[in-house]
Amino acid sequence: MTGRQDTTTLCRPTGPEELELVRGSNWRAWPPRLPEQPIFYPVLNEDYAIRIARDWNVRHSGVGFVTRFEVDSEFLSRYPVQQAGGRTILELWVPAEELDVFNEHIVGEIELVHTFR
């Protein structure tokens, strides 16, 4: 056995404020949710993350980013996949109070993969 952990690739569209907080964590964790944000929703499809970053974040913040990261697959199994629209619009809904535990299961660094202005 190699001891290699099975991971799932997730993406997250984000704006500039959240990205700065991720950068401040040395690209290792997502910041706590604001009171009006009861869930953290990473997405399972990079194209969906691109659409949100480009079409929503740019309109609201002037810039949108897409990040990609790996999470322990066994841990993720506690969160059922949510279909938030069309068949490729897939999200995980992580309750805000579980985000610290979620962050502990990120494998490696959160990568910045796209920037839209």
Whether the per-residue pLDDT at 41 is higher than 50: the answer is yes
Confidence of residue 50 (pLDDT cuts 50, 70, 90): very high
Q: What is the pTM of this model?
A: 0.93
**Residue 90 covered by a domain:** yes
Tally of domains in the chain: 1
Taking only the tens place, the pLDDT of each residue in 77-111 is 999 999 988 888 999 999 999 999 999 999 999 99
Whether the per-residue pLDDT at 39 is higher than 50: the answer is yes
Dist. CA 98–CA 107, nearest whole Å: 17
Domain range spanning residue 71? 7-116
User: What CATH number should be reported for the domain holding residue 12?
Assistant: 3.20.170
Whether the per-residue pLDDT at 113 is higher than 80: the answer is yes
**Residue 1 covered by a domain:** no
**Residue 2 covered by a domain:** no
State what percent of residues in the chain have pLDDT above 70.
97
Residue with structure tokens 């897939």?
A: 90
Cβ–Cβ < 8 Å for 33, 41? no
**Pairing label, strands 81-83, 94-95:** unpaired
